[in-house]
Amino acid sequence: MQIIQYVIGRFFVALATMFGVSIVIFAAVRMVPGGFEQVVLGPLATPESRAVIIAKFALDRSIIEQYGHWLVAAVHGDFGISMVTQTSVTQELIRRAPATIQLALMSLVMALSVGLPLGVISGLTNGRPWQRSLGRLLGALGASIPDFVLGSLFLFVFTVWSLGPTIGGYVPFFEDPWTNLRAMVLPAVTLAVFGIALILRTARDAVKSVMIEGYIAFAVACGERPSRIVRYHVLRNAAIPIITVTATYLGYLLGGAIIVEVLFSVPGVGLYTYNGLMNRDYAIVQASVLVAAAVFIAINMVADTIYTLLDPRISAQQRAS
């Protein structure tokens, strides 16, 4: 029951956050220099043609009026039409979502399956000094190398030599799984490297800080098996920070990894956002940022709910406050 109350409470907070995000993004898009009419018509257009465009998209109305109009439609799931392609933004987002979701899941699975065990193991064992230094170096490198650098590197290597994975050439997974995977593996790895480093470091630090807790010493003193101590005491207590970064990472991935999608021509939400931004196609940018924010908030809500299940003290604190 408490968990349901908690989720409902969080839902209203999320709604308020979304409202704030929508205002910020609506204003921010319009602050980008060069309006839609300038970008789409170019510098040599006549004032008349500009006026036509402005009138057509109601860009002459006050920003508050525009916002109100847009918000009412957005609440009903209608994000308007792309001013460039004249297609429904909602339809287009739905059409492009599978590529982004697939990319996100592939990266997440890679990041978790490599980062989590390595992080837990290095948190449990001290290792030799050189092993610790090497681990730290790789962790720092993985977390700090920008995805456009790593992506460009892959781009170079895999276009010069044909090694299997392809650059671009995306087809939907259910049409041709093999071709799809060949096109998706490089962007997924590019995104996973950061995730591996992030999850590895967090897991290592979390496990290390749990290992010095009194209840671990007590479990050892009681003669519990090491494997059981890890399974029942260490993992559960170390889980919260790991879930936090994993949720943040997944939110980042699902929001559309813009640079990686552009680099590898993955026709997902990120590429769509990029094109919208380049064309000052306000409807697209507003919609995709809002959707990304919603996904991010939803994932964090799920993560917060998991915390209360993992650590009873968290729900007790919430009841007290």
Partner 1 sequence: MSELVQVQDLRISYETARGIVYALDGVDLTVYSSQILGIVGESGSGKSTLGMAIGRLLPSNSLRTSGDLFVNGKSIFDIGDEQIRLLRQTSLGFVFQNPMSTLDPTMRVGRQIRLVLNGPASDDSIYELLRRVGLPDVKRVARSYPHQLSGGMAQRVVVAMAISRQPSLLIADEPTASLDASVREQILRLLLSVREETGVAIILLSHELGLVAKYCDTIAVMYGGRLIEAGSNVSVFGRPGHPYTKALLEAAPGSERPGDWLEAIPGVPPVLQSSAHGCVFEPRCKFAQETCRTVRPALRPIENRLVACHRAEEVLRAEPSTAATHGRIA
Footprint on this chain of partner 1 (rule: CB under 8 A): 126, 213-215, 217-226, 228, 232-233, 236-237, 310-313, 316
What's the chain's Rg over C-alpha atoms? 24
Q: Closest distance between partner 1 and the C-beta of residue 111, in Å?
A: 25
Residue with Cβ nearer partner 1 (304 or 311) = 311
Q: Closest distance between partner 1 and the C-beta of residue 32, in Å?
A: 48
The gap from C-alpha 123 to its chain's centroid, in whole angstroms, comes to 26
Instruction: Supply 4's token pair.
Output: 């349901």
Q: Quick one: which of 52, 90, 94, 100 has its CA closest to 284?
A: 90
Residue with Cβ nearer partner 1 (75 or 212) = 212
Residue entry with tokens 């519990």:
224
Q: For residue 10, what are the contacts with CB-CB under 8 A and spacing of at least 6?
A: 301, 304, 305
Q: Closest distance between partner 1 and the C-beta of residue 122, in Å?
A: 15
Q: Closest distance between partner 1 and the C-beta of residue 303, in Å?
A: 16
Q: Roughly how many angstroms between the first and final C-alpha of the chain, as a whole number?
A: 17
Instruction: Please provide the DSSP assignment of 31-63 as one string.
Output: HSSS-HHHHHH-TT--HHHHHHHHHHTTTTS-H
Q: Quick one: which of 80, 52, 8, 100 has its CA closest to 295?
A: 100
Residue with Cβ nearer partner 1 (127 or 172) = 127
Q: Closest distance between partner 1 and the C-beta of residue 247, in Å?
A: 19
User: φ and ψ at 125, to 5 degrees?
Assistant: -110, 140
Residue with Cβ nearer partner 1 (147 or 311) = 311
Instruction: Supply 257's token pair.
Output: 């990894």
Residue entry with tokens 């697939």:
102
Residue with Cβ nearer partner 1 (113 or 126) = 126
Q: Closest distance between partner 1 and the C-beta of residue 204, in Å?
A: 17
Residue with Cβ nearer partner 1 (156 or 232) = 232
What is the rounded distance in angstroms from the CA atom of residue 106 to the CA atom of residue 200? Answer: 17
What is the rounded distance in angstroms from the CA atom of residue 11 to the CA atom of residue 303? Answer: 13
Q: Closest distance between partner 1 and the C-beta of residue 313, in Å?
A: 5
Residue entry with tokens 């592939």:
106
Residue with Cβ nearer partner 1 (239 or 266) = 239
